[in-house]
Amino acid sequence: QVQLVESGGGSVQAGGSLSLSCAVFGYSYSSYCMGWFRQAPGKEREGVAVIESDGKPTYTDSVKGRFTISQDNAKNTLYLQMNNLKPEDTAMYYCAADYGWRPNGCSFTQVEYNYWGQGTQVTVSS
């Protein structure tokens, strides 16, 4: 059984930075997609950043240049470095893992992600 545990959320003023971590417990696959998603109050959950097992990242437009997704395979940990945070980044952030075969690469299609963490809250004040 795969378990994902996020940490690192909190409150920060606009322009500040936060770093999220997602520890992966359980069976590890050599080919996967890992991603960060977020859900703001009253809004649908959306993809923020995903990373392929070879390290290739993909970002949603609103976070390009501000957020960086990375992974430490030795520690089975996924990271999201968030800089120049804006109030509109306020949301519950979830990490997710997709262990399916994705010949076209990773996507933000949420149904493809088999495992989800419990979420960590990020609040950005103006």
State how far the Cα of 94 lies from the Cα of 98, in Å rounded to an integer.
13
Q: Which two tokens stand for residue 76?
A: 């089975």
Say which amino acid occupies 5.
V
The DSSP letter of residue 53 is T
Element spanning 5, H or E = strand 3-7
State how far the Cα of 36 lies from the Cα of 21, in Å rounded to an integer.
10
| pLDDT, tens only, 40-65 | 999 999 999 999 998 999 999 999 99
Residues of the chain with pLDDT > 90, as a percent, come to 83
Q: What torsion, rounded to 10 degrees, do the Cα atoms 123, 9, 47, 51 define?
A: 150
- In the predicted model, residues of the chain with pLDDT beneath 50 are none
